Amino acid sequence: MTFASDVAKFSENAKKRLDQQVRAITLELFSSVIMSTPVGNPELWERNRVAANYNQEVRVFNANLRDNPENLDKRGHLKRGKKLNDGMDIVAPKGYVGGRLRNSWYTTVGTPSDGQGRDPDKAGGGSLADLKNIGVGSVTYMTNNLPYAIPIEYGHSIKQAPAGMVRINVTRVAETMK
């Protein structure tokens, strides 16, 4: 072996290790963005605020009943007629299923996706499956083209993603890399 071939081999190995590290960091970042993306929860919507608060108060009332032994039968269950059976309906559009935003992240190599959104999936299965596209030594893109992705990134989902999904994870991963 010559000095030149030793340097070439070292350089090739270093590039492979660097590419693997970049892929691992990209995988961590992209999967974190996907899992940080909020899934629609009608109980958190402003139009359901009164109903959600009322239902929570009913749950607290019933839980507090359990603190008094006089309210419990021999098995430790609430006696008949003690429990408050009341609640308000949470309103959502007919057939509503959350998870469209989470499942509409696209990972592509070379060019950004123009995908317009997948079927709802609270687990983000389609988005997570796309992570296999993260290449070694190539430019990888992550896009979400749903029109409400940007408003949610910048605070529209105050209760579920107040600091967004992308910005918070980019900051976290950048700090980890330091």
Residues 103 and 173 in one domain: yes
**Per-residue pLDDT tens digits for 136-173:** 778 899 999 999 999 999 988 888 889 999 999 999 99
pLDDT computed for residue 5 by the predictor: 85
pLDDT computed for residue 52 by the predictor: 92
pLDDT computed for residue 130 by the predictor: 94
The count of domains in the chain is: 2
Mean pLDDT value of segment 103-118: 94
DSSP result, 94-124: TT--S-TTGGG-EEEESS----------TT-
pTM, to two decimals: 0.74
Mean pLDDT value of segment 1-19: 82
Residues 29 and 110 in one domain: yes
Residues 53 and 133 in one domain: no
Could you list the residue range(s) of the whole structural domain that residue 127 is in?
25-40+98-177
Q: Which residue has the higher pLDDT, 14 or 121?
A: 121
Residue 122 lies in a domain: yes
Residues 120 and 33 in one domain: yes
Residue 147 lies in a domain: yes
Structural domain ending residue among the three candidates 70, 96, 122: 96
Mean pLDDT value of segment 31-45: 93
Of the ranges 14-18, 58-62, 143-147, 170-174, which one carries the lowest mean pLDDT score?
A: 14-18
